[in-house]
Chains A and B, each alone.
Chain A
């Protein structure tokens, strides 16, 4: 699992990859986008802690810097890891909702 072992950066990593799946973004644009679609506002240390780990694992890549802002792009490897993760998560969600419906 490419997203395994990220510790407290696991959740931010999934959010970042989901955001980058919609297009390349720099740090502030990532924070804004994640806030909009997930309602979570990542702090700067958390965002870059997760980004550095994702870059180290080859799941995102840095593009040429525009002034002091550097956009990031999800790699094919990152897209595959995100897809795998979300499929697992969807299975859990489906099962959970089904069992809740059966219980009520």
Chain B
């Protein structure tokens, strides 16, 4: 924990809370509906703080919906109803101001979506959006370093972010979400549109960020889940089938469905 605090202090952000501890997320009886259709059914789950939790499961089982509920992005879609509780450090997020919540819970999307601005402006976008006072240049440097981009990009900070490769764009999106010092980072299949080398770099930066942030990653890739995550949650048809340490899930799953999915019998 001491090491964690030291690494956090070099982020030159003098915001409301300088040294926040990574927050834990707790879901209590979460039901999510889109219109009449129920996507998630009674999910009870605790994401441990400062660990990487992978959510796996076949397509259409509600992984992304679960992730988008945690920073309330699901509210952008019309006809979405949420029942139950989602707690961030014991606080019910459904009663929080969504903008404040999203400052504490960052998100990286499936497709890289950098803003149509320069690289520097991209990193500083969140800081400027929430009017946080900080040393801009130092923030850019530290965020890009964490996303393993500083060495590649330090001479072209004023270029357009659209000129970067897809892998660099995705890591820029990670750097961008780090600038506002979130407690939780949600990653929605971040490696799905990347080439193998970019995936390796991305996974390395996710591993580097362990301990500083609670990370929740949705993935289709078993190897990736095995390599980077500490815990795994297996979702199937809107229900949470199994949750546990990665090693245990991948070696001795307690449920038959989990076993079938991991060994490739169910897609």
**Is the A/B pair a real complex?**
no
A: which residues have CB within 8 A of B?
none
Residue numbers of B with Cβ under 8 A of A are none
